[in-house]
Structure 1
Amino acid sequence: MQRPFWHFTPSRPPRVVACAAVAGLLALAGCGSSDPTLYSLAPIASTQPSGMGGQVPAVIEVRTPGVPPSLDRQNIVGTQDDYSLTPLAGAAWSEPLAPMLGHVLATDLQQRLPGRSVFAQNDATTVPAQGFVEVEITRFARDASGVVHLGGSLSVHRAGDAEHALSVPLALTATPADSGTRAMVAALSQLAGQVADMAAERLQALPPAPAQTRR
C-alpha cells in the first residue's frame, strides 16, 4: 500500500510579508500626493514720480531676461548661497521664470513710462522697437539669513545704437514679511519693480537719437 503524497507550500517569511505591505502603503501615498503650489511674480506700482523726458524712445522692447539654468527651473529656488542651491519642496513657478520675469518687467515699465508703448520680447506686435531693455539675472532667491536678493545687470539702448548703451550692475535686496514662500515671491516682485525704476531712469538719460539726414 502506497502512502499518500502531500505537497506543502512553504509560507512566506514574516519579514517578506511586512516589506510587501510597506511597499503597498508607499505606492498608495505616492498616488495620493498633491500637486505643488504655483506662484507668479506680480507687477509693482512705482513709488517715484512719473516724470519723463522727451528723449525716451516711443516704442520699447524688454528682451527676455537671461536666467541661468540653475534658477530657470520649475521648482522655485528658495535659498541661493555661494556653494549651494536649495529648491523649495511643493512650490513651483506657474510658468518658466525668464519669460514671466520679462512680462512683469514690461508691465512695470509701462506704468512708469505713460505715453510710451512697452512690450516683452516675442509678444505679438507689428511695431518695431526704438529702444531695448536687457536684463541678466545671476541671483534671484533668499540667502541663509532670509534676505531676498536680485543680482545681475541692466542695460538699455536705442535701436541700432548699442554702442551708447547705458549699463549698471544689479545688487538689490529686500526683507520679506515672513519666512513663507508667498512673502519671498512678493519681495522678488518688489525688486523687479526696482529694476523697472532703474530702467525708466536710464531710458530718460539716453543720448538723443541721431538726426536723420534728408536726401
Structure 2
Amino acid sequence: MQRPIRHFIHSARHHMAVGVTTAGLLALGGCGSSDPTLYSLAPVATTQPVMAVATVPDVIEVRTPGIPPSLDRQNIVGVQDDYSLSTLPAAAWSEPLAPMVGHVLAADLQQRLPGRTVFAQNDATSVPAQAFVEVEISRFARDSAGLVHLTGSLSVHRAGDAAQVLSVPLALTASPTGAGTRAMVAALSQLTGQVADMATERLQALPPAPSTDTRPQPHRSR
C-alpha cells in the first residue's frame, strides 16, 4: 500500500514542478510582449520655394522647446482634449520629446535654409549662434474627433537683440491618414515642418544686424 501512495506523491510533485515552470515561462513571455513600440518624429520637406535671403543669419540655434510635463513623458499622449489627457500604453517616444522636437525642427530648418548652419541646443559645436528659434508647445496630440494639433508659440530673434523678437502663436492642425499611432506621429512631423516654414519666414524678416564697425569716426568741426 505504501508504494502506490509514494508513486502518487512523486507524480503530484512532478506535475506541480511542470506547472510552476510553465507559469514562469508564460510570465516571462508576457513581460516581453508588453514592451511598447517606439516612435520618432521625422523631418519633412517644405512645400514652399526655398529662397536665399542675404539678411538671414549664418548660424542659427534652435533652443530646446518648452513642453509641459503632461506631454513630455515616455508614453505618447494619444488624446489631449479640453479636460482630459490619455496616453497610449503600447506606444512610447524613442527619446525625450523636448530634445527630439528640437532636433527635428533644426533638421527641417537646415533643409529650408541652404548655406546656413542650423543646430539644436546642446549640440556639440564651437560656432556661436547669431540667431535663436524658440518654441513653446502646449498641445501635441489628437483631439477626441481625431484631428492632430500643435499649439503654442514661436519666436525668433538675433543674438544679443532680444528687443527685436518676432513672435507668433501656433495653432496648427492636420488630418492624419489613418487611426493608428504611426499616422498620428506622421501628422505631428508634418506640423513640426510647418513650424519650420513659419520660423524660416521670420528669420528672413529679421531687421538687419546692427553695424559692428568700431573704427573711430573722423572729427567734424562746426
Give the TM-score, by structure 2 length. Answer: 0.84
Aligned to 1:141: 141
RMSD of Structure 2 on Structure 1 (CA): 1.8
Aligned to 2:83: 83
Quick check: 1:54 aligned with 2:87? no
Deviation, structure 1 residue 28: 5.8
Aligned to 1:201: 201
Mapped partners of 2:213, 2:86: distance in 1: 56
Aligned AA (1:72): D
Aligned to 1:95: 95
Deviation, structure 1 residue 89: 1.9
Quick check: 1:211 aligned with 2:211? yes
Quick check: 1:180 aligned with 2:176? no
Deviation, structure 1 residue 32: 4.5
Mapped partners of 2:208, 2:155: distance in 1: 17
Quick check: 1:73 aligned with 2:54? no
DSSP 3-state at the match of 1:141: strand
DSSP 3-state at the match of 1:203: helix
Deviation, structure 1 residue 136: 0.3
Deviation, structure 1 residue 94: 0.3
Structure showing the higher helix proportion among its residues: 2
Give the TM-score, by structure 1 length. Answer: 0.86
For structure 2, list consecutive stretches of 5 or more residues without a partner in the other structure.
Answer: 1-19, 216-222
Aligned to 1:156: 156
Deviation, structure 1 residue 209: 0.3
The count of residues paired between Structure 1 and Structure 2 equals 195
Identity of aligned residues (%): 78
Q: Map Cα deviations across residues 138-166 of structure 1 (whole Å, 9 max, x no partner).
A: 00000000000000000000000010010
For structure 1, list consecutive stretches of 5 or more residues without a partner in the other structure.
Answer: 1-20
DSSP 3-state at the match of 1:60: strand
